[in-house]
Chains A and B, each alone.
Chain A
Amino acid sequence: MQKPSLSKQNSKALLEPINLDLTPIMNMMLILIPLLVTMAVFTQISVIQFSLPSEEGESLPGEEITPRPPGDVDITLVVTESGFQIIGEGKKMDPIPKNRGAFDFPILKRYLEKLRQEYPLTETIVLLVDPAVGYEDLIGTMDICRESRYTNVALSGGIEP
Chain B
Amino acid sequence: MSQPRRRKPPQSMKPQMTSLVDILTILLVFLIKSFSSDGEIMVMDKNLDLPVSSAAGTPVPALIIGISRDHILAGGFPVARVDEESARKGPLIPTLMDWLVEKKAQTLRISEFDESVEFEGQITIQGDRKIPYWILQKVLRTCGEAGYNNFSLAVVKKE
Query: What per-residue 1/0 map shows which CB atoms of B13-38 lie under 8 Å from chain A?
Result: 01001101100110110011011100
User: Which of B20, B36, B42, B132 sits near A26, CB closer than 8 Å?
Assistant: B20
Q: Which residues of B contact A134 (CB under 8 A)?
A: 129-133
Query: Cβ of A48 and Cβ of B133 under 8 Å apart?
Result: no
Query: Cβ of B130 and Cβ of A135 under 8 Å apart?
Result: yes
Q: Which of A6-14, A108-116, A118-126, A138-146 contacts B (4 or more CB under 8 A)?
A: A138-146
The A82-100 residues at the B interface (CB cut-off 8 A) are none
Q: A24 to chain B: closest CB distance in Å?
A: 11
Q: B92 to chain A: closest CB distance in Å?
A: 14
Residues of B within 8 Å of A, CB-based: how many? 52
User: Interface residue tally of chain A, by bracket?
Assistant: 35 or more
- Whether B106 is near chain A, meaning CB under 8 Å from some CB there, is no
Query: Cβ of A131 and Cβ of B133 under 8 Å apart?
Result: yes
Query: Cβ of B155 and Cβ of A45 under 8 Å apart?
Result: yes
Q: Name B's interface SS.
A: mixed
Query: Cβ of A25 and Cβ of B21 under 8 Å apart?
Result: yes
Asked whether A41 and B36 contact (CB < 8 A) given A47-B59, A134-B132, A161-B134, the answer is: yes
Q: Which residues of A contact B127 (CB under 8 A)?
A: 135
Asked whether A47 and B133 contact (CB < 8 A) given A40-B31, A135-B51, A139-B53, the answer is: no
Query: Cβ of B20 and Cβ of A44 under 8 Å apart?
Result: no
Query: What per-residue 1/0 map shows which CB atoms of B67-106 lie under 8 Å from chain A?
Result: 1000000000000000000000000000000000000000
Q: Name A's interface SS.
A: mixed
The A15-41 residues at the B interface (CB cut-off 8 A) are 19-20, 22, 25-26, 29, 32-33, 36-37, 39-41
Q: Which residues of B contact A53 (CB under 8 A)?
A: 149
Q: Which residues of B contact A131 (CB under 8 A)?
A: 132-134, 137
CA distance A47 to B50 in the complex (A): 11
- Whether B57 is near chain A, meaning CB under 8 Å from some CB there, is yes
- Whether A52 is near chain B, meaning CB under 8 Å from some CB there, is yes
Query: Cβ of A48 and Cβ of B21 under 8 Å apart?
Result: no
- Whether A5 is near chain B, meaning CB under 8 Å from some CB there, is no
| Interchain residue pairs A-B with the least CB separation, the first 10 | A131-B134, A36-B31, A47-B152, A136-B129, A44-B157, A29-B24, A47-B57, A22-B17, A139-B51, A136-B51
Report 22 cross-chain contacts, Cβ distance below 8 Å, ordered by A residue: A20-B17, A40-B34, A45-B50, A45-B156, A47-B59, A48-B53, A49-B153, A50-B151, A52-B140, A52-B149, A54-B121, A129-B137, A131-B132, A134-B133, A135-B129, A135-B136, A136-B51, A136-B130, A139-B153, A143-B55, A146-B55, A155-B140
- A: which residues have CB within 8 A of B? 19-20, 22, 25-26, 29, 32-33, 36-37, 39-54, 129-136, 138-140, 142-143, 146-147, 155, 158, 161
